[in-house]
Structure 1
Amino acid sequence: MTRVRTYHLALIGVAGLILLVSLVRVLTGFDDLTSSGTVGAALVLAVPIALAGLGGLWAERAGVVNIGLEGMMVLGTWFAGWAGYQWGPMAALAAGLLGGALGGLLHAIATVSFGVDHIISGVAINLLGPGITRFLSEVLYKEGTPASEAGAGITSSPAVRGETPTFDLPLLSSGPDLLGKLESTHWFLVADVAGVLRGLTHGISVLVIVAVLLLPLTFFVLWHTAFGLRLRSAGENPWAAESLGVNVYRIKYVAVVLSGAFAGLGGVFLVFFTDKYVEGQTQGRGFIGLAAMIFGNWRPGGLAGGSALFGYASSLQLRSAPAVNTFFLFGAVLLLVYLGLQIRRLTSADRPVELAAPGPRQYTLMGLAALGAVFLIWLWLTIDQLPNDFIFITPHVLTLLVLLVASQRLRMPKADGVSYRRGEQH
């Protein structure tokens, strides 16, 4: 029954968000807020972040902090580019997975077998990843090599041979472009729903489908299988799991290697998107994926929401920089909604007993919300165009703000980052 209620609340939340975005679009006149192009770009930009976050989720649910996701993703991009230009997309996929998994294996050896501090090991991998790939590029892509003659340079590989298949999802995208016609009407809510659906169903890469399916698959494996129970027990109390016969070392190794493979898969997606490996193309997405995982409270559903948020902010920044100003109005409306809900709870006749006498902290939060809403509305009314530098960092700032707000409800696995030694109870 709880799962049904949670599912319904999630649907209500999505519907309310679309309604809010539609209202802001009408008020501001920025049609790109819900255009199919923006939504499609957001999906593409969210996928590598979600895959990196998924890698962090597997590792940390097993009790191993993995801040080396960025380095593992870099390894995935290089190996995917190297194999892709020689043997095509399938070879790129396999090589990218292997490259990321090797980074995960190195992290597992350091943290699980030798007890190295998880943060130090992760930082080392983030330094090793770019260093190893630069060395390999200088050896294999230098002038005079076959790769160089095929278009490679020290900082990039030749183009991947062949194309990654894309397709339109059935039903909503078949026949006449009805969704496109509805989107072009710019009607309130109708055009917005049509734009969202069209962006999610037209020109979808196979790798996007795989990435989306990995989220519910992860939830099923970790929360509905015996293996998932053992893995999560290793992250909550490995000594109790050990007493019940769980091979904690093996579980942690499997989880961290899979973590690296997921990060490598995110790197493969970047290579397919740009058609080749380019040095520095991850641009911190491994760290952002880790932030999305924390925002999602170490659960796949929340991780998907955090990735979608960053992907949407990034796509809006790329497609319509002036529309970034609407985030001020978004924030103001959300603060006003929060303020209204708090006032309703305080004035409701059937409010809980603990809310009968609200304390100073609650009044302080309500006052700050009101001031924040007024300030954001003032910014929206007075600023016509944000500086380009601020527009560029908007997705990162938005991620930090959301993490700050969400930090009050986060609960990490109890043994996350704890050094485990068989037979040594902490």
Structure 2
Amino acid sequence: METVILAVVIAVVVLGAIGGLVVGSRRKKPLPPPPTSVPDITAPPAEPHVGDEAETPRDEPRRTIEEVDLPGGPAPVAVEEPPAGPDPTAPEIEVPEPTAGRLVRLRSRLSRSQNALGKGLLTLLSREHLDEDTWEEIEDILLTADVGVQPTQELVDGLRARVKVLGTRTPDELRTLLREELLKLVGTDVDRVVKTEPEDRKPGIVMVVGVNGTGKTTTTGKLARVLVADGNSVVLGAADTFRAAAADQLQTWGERVGAYTVRGPEGGDPASVAFDAVKEGKEMGADVVLIDTAGRLHTKTGLMDELGKVKRVVEKQAPLDEVLLVLDATTGQNGLVQARVFAEVVDVTGIVLTKLDGTAKGGIVIAVQRELGVPVKLVGLGEGADDLAPFEPEAFVDALIGE
């Protein structure tokens, strides 16, 4: 028994010794030889804060963004705020010429081209014997000047009666006589003021109509100048959407006097543009809204119906105060045909005669008033921006018969 126990003890001791030798041999395993050169290992820098650079100590003051160079270019330059005041690129606002006395100023220009009518009549009336042939010549002069058949007959009858009573006829007496008879036909007791100031609301609404080529859009722009010169603020409605240059032209006129222009897409609905113009005019508190319409040929019935639509749409917001028909004075009797058709569609309230300085047919003023029963309110006497003038019968007749 003792022998067995002794053998077990010896076996345990032997196994322990063998295990120690194995572990000791592992621990004493030699390390690899050191490298001949040691690389320079530097610890990665700490992540810099915004505005810091890697090598800048954190206790240094941080730089502003203006001081930090951006990669690939110079540091940004601070942009200075533009000085307060008007935009230097905006068009300069013009001051239109006052309307008072415009026609008087332009009378000499008008008389140079118109007084053939007055001189011809005065020459015939100065004859010692006024026979039937002379009166027929007087009628021919008046008809050639587009006075019209009925007004011509009335003027000749009036002259005949007064010359018969007058007896002796000096040049001054004849001029006075002719002036008085012409004033009767032109009319001195007619209200020729362009209605732009309704008592119960703002703005006043004016629609401008007429055939292409009469200077309608230009006249609308010049009328804006007349209204601004009289102290009104103006909104322009470019409802001639079928002619690309019309809206641009009208806007240019407006910018020159500080008027705001409402326009739509090319080929868009004219009635919609007119409606928006009136709406904008109300919201802006403008004094007057001027609506330029398409200058359709008066023979195109469907297009004239569209003009009537523009009028109806505008009147859903407010009644029209004026419908001005622009006529070319050089078209003569054909202008009366145009006037008649437009008047049937949109109830014309006033006439604007353009190119009155380029023709000897000043009698169209009398004829068109008689045809439509509405007055001539404005006349165009030249190409200048301020050559649209309120019509003054006395100044006009004086220009017809000359000084």
TM range (shorter): under 0.3
TM-score by length of 1: 0.24
Identify the structure with bigger relative contact order (alpha carbons < 8 Å, sequence gap 6+): 1
With normalisation by structure 2, the TM-score equals 0.25
Higher helix content, 1 or 2: 1
Higher Cα radius of gyration: 2
